[in-house]
Structure formats: structure tokens, C-alpha cells
Amino acid sequence: MSRILVIDDNAGVRAYLQHGLGYGDHEVVVAKNGGEGIQRYHESPVDLVITDLFMPEKDGFETIAELRKESPSIPIIAISGGHLASGPTLQAAKFAGAVYVLEKPFDTEKLLFMVDEALRPKRQCVRANGAVPITGDSRETPITLS
């Protein structure tokens, strides 16, 4: 079972993601802003973070940057909606360290695909002399699904 931290100032989005991801055999922890999200992360580290970009107190960009400093390998999915969820905003989230970005409202199948990919362990191929990591893992290259 994986632990996922969902950070979003919209209670409906938090509940939707908590419910939906809970069916996927994930334990979901929620927070209403970046400050609370960082606090939850310190209380009990998670395997994946899904964060909104625009929130009061501490936004998603600040949250991503802080998490990257503390845990460079933690996969982060950035989500954002409304008029602010433009191409440049989503690109900025990738630059900040999100491995995937998704515009609200999003297709649940796309989100579940991103979650599965972000949580997938490094792929390995086995050779006669042992296991050798395969480069090009999806976590190394941020992408946006349309």
C-alpha cells in the first residue's frame, strides 16, 4: 500500500481524491494548504504528493520547492484549475519539480495513470552479472498528458 498526500484548498477536491485514490489500495492523507501539507509530510512521510498550485498561505510552487529540498526523489503531481491553469503555469510547475501536471477538471483515468507511473519502482533488467537500472524512467522526465 502506498501513502499519498493530497494538498488542495478545495474541500470537494480533497474528498474526491481521498475517496477515489482510497479505492486504489492507497492510504490518502489530506491537507488544505501547503503549510499544512508540509506539516503532514513531516509527521509521516508519504510515497507521493498531489498538490494544487494556487492556495492561500503557502501555494503549490512553494510547497514543491520545499519538498524538493527535503526529499529530492519524492514524486509530485501538480494540479490546477480555472483561468490560472495556463500552459506557462503548468510548465512552471514542471520547472519547480512536479513530475506530472494536470489541469482541473481532470479525467480520473489520467490521474490514476499518473499516480501509477509515479509510484512505479525503477524498472530494472536482469543481466547475467546482476540487475542494471534502465534509464528513462517516467519520473526523470516531466510530461503532461492531454
Q: Where are the domains of the chain?
A: 2-144
Mean pLDDT, the chain, rounded, equals 81
- Rounded to an integer, the average pLDDT of 27-54 is 95
- 75 has pLDDT over 90: yes
Helix (H) or strand (E) holding 62: helix 60-70
CATH code of 2-144, in short, is 3.40.50.2300
Cis amide linkage into residue 142, ω under 30° from 0: no
pTM attached to this predicted model: 0.80
- Rounded to an integer, the average pLDDT of 20-39 is 92
- Tens of pLDDT along 110-141? 999 999 999 987 433 333 334 333 333 333 33
| Residue type at 26 in one-letter notation | H
- 45 has pLDDT over 70: yes
Q: First vs last Cα of the chain: how many Å apart?
A: 28
